[in-house]
Every structure is written in structure tokens, then in C-alpha cells.
């Protein structure tokens, strides 16, 4: 299977990103790794090259220009799964440091093997649950941005994500057309975790025929020590 790199380069340019030959080669390699792994573990559903290009790579890259800071910034991808959006963002933004966090050994083993084989020095892979990692000094209050794609309902995601952020950092959550309604249901969680007013931004993903939105929430003060609650509670009893 082959990635259409001309189509990728054109689509990335529409998103404000210029990809060089080395980056295009890394995207081709990532596509190949996803395709091979998907035959064994069904990481991404359909492994059709066009689906990977549009629904996974370009959709991930639509986040890039909304991150908080660039050169030297620290970004964590919570619930990274197959490395989405973290791996495409790390390839496109080599001056930004990315942590890809997931609770699944299968997924983190896949990510580590790809990162090591590809020589991507701006990625760290961590196997951990967000509720536990968000309480650890190594991770808490350390990041400029949190990114998340298809992880959890927004109130639960906010409890997972905001403890990782520095004050002034931002959560950039990829959502669908119901994002404004989701923000309304997450009002208590945003307030409790010390988030500021949520901003909902419509984004156009090249070649994608349905609507995507980003929910962006800035952390305006320290998250109270009682959050995140113990493992499983944010999902079972969202704020």
C-alpha cells in the first residue's frame, strides 16, 4: 500500500504546514506501520490509504496551529491509541516535544517500536492511565498543551487533561459538530478543574466531507489537589 504524498503535501499546505521530503518519508513509514499493525490488532478500523491520509493524518494535523507555543513546547497526547494525533503532529513539528500516553501495552509497544525505528527524537511514549499520571509530579502541571482525539465525553476528558497543564496551557480537543452542546454539559468540569471559557473553532480538514471542531480551553489556575479522582471515577461519575 502507498501513501499519496502529493495529496498529503497539498492538504498540509492548506492547514498552514510545509512538509519537506524527509517528513513525507516519515509519514509514508507511519502509514505502512499502521497498515501492518492493523492487520493484527485493528488499531484504526479501515487501513485504506485514503482513509489513513484524510481521517487520521490530515485530521491530526488540523490541530497543529492551535497548540500553545512551538519551539521547545511540551505537548501530551492523552489516550494516544495508534499515535493520533501525536505522531503526525510530532513529524510536522520537530521542534515541539510530544509525550504519547496510553494505558494499553499493545498500543504503547506499537508506538515505541515505530518511534525507535524512525529515529523520532521528539517523542516519548508512556504507558499510564491518565487518572494516575495526572497526580504524579513527573507529569502534573508540566505541559503547554494537551491534545486528545476520540478519548472520552468532554466532562471526563477535562478531568483527565487539565491536571497535566501548566497554568496558561491549553487543552485542544478534537470534536464533532455537537461540540457547543458538549461544552455546555462540561461547564462544571471546566470550572472545577480551573479552566477558562471554552472556545469552539470550526476546522476544515482537506478532502474530508464532514464537519470537525476543536474545543480549546485555557487553564487559568492550579487544578485542586483532589483532581483527577481515582481510576475509573471520572468516566463513571463525570462532573
Q: Is residue 53 part of a domain?
A: no
**pLDDT value at position 51?**
87
Q: Is 2 exposed, middle or buried (0-12, 13-18, 19+ CB in 10 A)?
A: exposed
The per-residue pLDDT for range 57-103, each reduced to its tens digit, is: 999 999 999 998 777 899 999 999 999 999 999 999 999 999 999 99
Count of residues in the chain: 239
Q: What is the maximum alpha-carbon separation in the chain?
A: 49
**pLDDT value at position 204?**
94
Q: Is residue 159 part of a domain?
A: yes
The per-residue pLDDT for range 177-186, each reduced to its tens digit, is: 999 999 999 9
The per-residue pLDDT for range 187-221, each reduced to its tens digit, is: 999 999 999 999 999 999 999 998 899 999 999 99
Q: Is residue 28 part of a domain?
A: no
Cell representation of residue 117: 525505528
Residue 116 in contact with residue 198, Cβ under 8 Å? no
Domain that holds residue 186: 69-236
Q: Is residue 157 part of a domain?
A: yes
Q: Is residue 23 part of a domain?
A: no
Helix pair 5-14, 21-41: axis angle to 10 deg = 110
Residue 160 in contact with residue 133, Cβ under 8 Å? no
**pLDDT value at position 219?**
98
- Beta-bridge mates of residue 165: 143
**pLDDT value at position 1?**
65
Query: By 3-state DSSP, what share of the chain in percent is helix, strand and coil, each rounded to 5?
Result: 40, 20, 40
Q: Is residue 6 part of a domain?
A: no
Does residue 117 have a pLDDT over 80?
yes
- Beta-bridge mates of residue 216: 172, 199
Cell representation of residue 47: 487501513
**pLDDT value at position 15?**
97
Q: Is residue 34 part of a domain?
A: no
35-39, 113-117, 213-217: least confident range: 35-39
45-59, 98-112, 113-127, 161-175: least confident range: 45-59
Distance CA 84, CA 80 (A): 6
Cell representation of residue 215: 474545543
Q: Is residue 19 part of a domain?
A: no
CATH of the domain at 173: 3.40.50.150
Residue 100 in contact with residue 124, Cβ under 8 Å? yes
Task: Enumerate residues 6+ apart whose C-beta is below 8 A from 13.
Answer: none
Domain count within the chain: 1
Amino acid at each position: 500500500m502507498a501513501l499519496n504524498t502529493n495529496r498529503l503535501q497539498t492538504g498540509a499546505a492548506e492547514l498552514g504546514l510545509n512538509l519537506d521530503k524527509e517528513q513525507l518519508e516519515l509519514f509514508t513509514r507511519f502509514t505502512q506501520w499502521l497498515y501492518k499493525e492493523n492487520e493484527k490488532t485493528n488499531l484504526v478500523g479501515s487501513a485504506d490509504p485514503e482513509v489513513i491520509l484524510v481521517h487520521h493524518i490530515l485530521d491530526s494535523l488540523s490541530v497543529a496551529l492551535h497548540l500553545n507555543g512551538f519551539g521547545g513546547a511540551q505537548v501530551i497526547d492523552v489516550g494516544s491509541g495508534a499515535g493520533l494525533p501525536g505522531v503526525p503532529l510530532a513529524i510536522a513539528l520537530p521542534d515541539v516535544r510530544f509525550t504519547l500516553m496510553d494505558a494499553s501495552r499493545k498500543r504503547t509497544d506499537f508506538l515505541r517500536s515505530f518511534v525507535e525505528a524512525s529515529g523520532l527524537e521528539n517523542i516519548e511514549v508512556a504507558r499510564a492511565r491518565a487518572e494516575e499520571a495526572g497526580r504524579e509530579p513527573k507529569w502534573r502541571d508540566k505541559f503547554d498543551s494537551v491534545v486528545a482525539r476520540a478519548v472520552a465525553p468532554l466532562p471526563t476528558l477535562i478531568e483527565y487533561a487539565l491536571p497535566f497543564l501548566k497554568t496558561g496551557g491549553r487543552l485542544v480537543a478534537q470534536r464533532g459538530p455537537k461540540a457547543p452542546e458538549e461544552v455546555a454539559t462540561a461547564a462544571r468540569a471546566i470550572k472545577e478543574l480551573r479552566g477558562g471559557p471554552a472556545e469552539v473553532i470550526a476546522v476544515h480538514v482537506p478532502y474530508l466531507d464532514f464537519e470537525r471542531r476543536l474545543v480549546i480551553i485555557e487553564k487559568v489556575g492550579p487544578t485542586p489537589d483532589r483532581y483527577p479522582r481515582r481510576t475509573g471515577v471520572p468516566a463513571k461519575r463525570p462532573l
